[in-house]
Amino acid sequence: MAPALLLVPAALASFILAFGTGVEFVRFTSLRPLLGGIPESGGPDARYGWLAALQDRSILASLAWDLCLLLLFVVQHSLMATEAVKAWTSRYFGVLQRSLYVACTALALQLVMRYWEPTPRGPVLWEARAEPWATWVPLLCFVLHVVSWLLIFSILLVFDYAELMGLKQVYYHVLGLGEPLSLKSPRALRLFSHLRHPVCVELLTVLWVVPTLGTDRLLLALLFTLYLGLAHGLDQQDLRYLRSQLQRKLQLLSRPQDGEAE
């Protein structure tokens, strides 16, 4: 039992790192463009047009650097999700395989956020500057971001957050209950194989719905949109299973408690 208990701190450390990275990602994608921080675009007189930006080495260098950071995250996130790499990490890390994947993903995302280079002099695709849009568009974006993040957190809870973070695997291992996935139905396993990112629409809303869409933000939104789109492959059978699970959970939530029934 003692060696098994040593796995718990490692899984908890991975969870704390992932949770902190998630909080930082909210700041990076929502709070910075909506509430200030590093500006995503300079003043109207300081910006280049699209053609001029393609000739400015500093803008191109910043965009190339940001693209490398994003590709690093995409390669890590995709490569470690392949069956070959999962089999190798399971062989050497055992039940900590999922925790290792989560920790590496968090570290890759931290690199993106910490070393991201904005392009304040780059052109913008759109910007709300004139009134009343300068007041109402940021407010609308803020509301949509709040709703999107609440939906993201709710969906993660529905999809078994503890298992996604690798905690449940270690918990089951310590208790001798086996692998959590082995207890799931074939329909659930089929869904998980097709749906790697259950919060696609909400995350795309966060990425695209901003008052000012600068050049570096456009790069971020485009690459994540492409990546999220390629990672999805749901069919009608998966959608029927999702609908049945949602109805079942709603019935459980609406069921009266024992005290209320009396």
Measured between alpha carbons, how far is 138 from 144 in angstroms, rounded to an integer?
10
Residue 212 in 3-state DSSP?
Answer: strand
Is the distance from CB of 233 to CB of 194 less than 8 angstroms? yes
Is the distance from CB of 129 to CB of 50 less than 8 angstroms? no
pLDDT digits (tens, 9 = 90+) for 205-229: 999 999 999 899 999 999 999 988 7
Task: Tell me the mean pLDDT in the region 150-159.
Answer: 78
**Is residue 229 packed enough to be buried (19+ CB in 10 Å), middle (13-18) or exposed (0-12)?**
exposed
3-state secondary structure 61-130: HHHHHHHHHHHHHHHHHHHCCCHHHHHHHHHHHHHHHHHHHHHHHHHHHHHHHHCCCCCCCCCEEEECCC
Residues of the chain with pLDDT > 90, as a percent, come to 39
Lowest mean pLDDT among 145-149, 174-178, 237-241: 237-241
Q: Tell me, what DSSP letter sits at residue 27?
A: I
Residue predicted with more confidence, 144 or 182:
144
pTM of structure = 0.78
Q: What is the pLDDT of residue 74?
A: 94
Residues 6+ apart with CB under 8 A from 1: 174
Residue 185 in 3-state DSSP?
Answer: coil
Which tokens is 32 given? 């910075």
213, β-bridge pairs: 126
Residue predicted with more confidence, 178 or 75:
75
Residue predicted with more confidence, 191 or 94:
94
Residue predicted with more confidence, 77 or 188:
77
Task: Tell me the mean pLDDT in the region 238-254.
Answer: 58
Residue predicted with more confidence, 255 or 1:
255
pLDDT digits (tens, 9 = 90+) for 38-48: 444 445 545 66
Q: Categorize the per-residue pLDDT at 162 as very low, low, confident or very high, splitting at 50, 70 and 90.
A: confident
Label residues 150-187 b or e (16+ Cβ within 10 Å = b): eebeeeeeeeeeebebbbbbbbbbbeeeeebeeeeeee
Q: Judge whether residue 119 has pLDDT over 50.
A: yes
Q: What is the pLDDT of residue 38?
A: 45
Q: Categorize the per-residue pLDDT at 62 as very low, low, confident or very high, splitting at 50, 70 and 90.
A: very high
pLDDT digits (tens, 9 = 90+) for 67-94: 999 999 999 998 998 889 999 999 999 8
Most confident among 55-59, 108-112, 156-160 (mean pLDDT) = 108-112
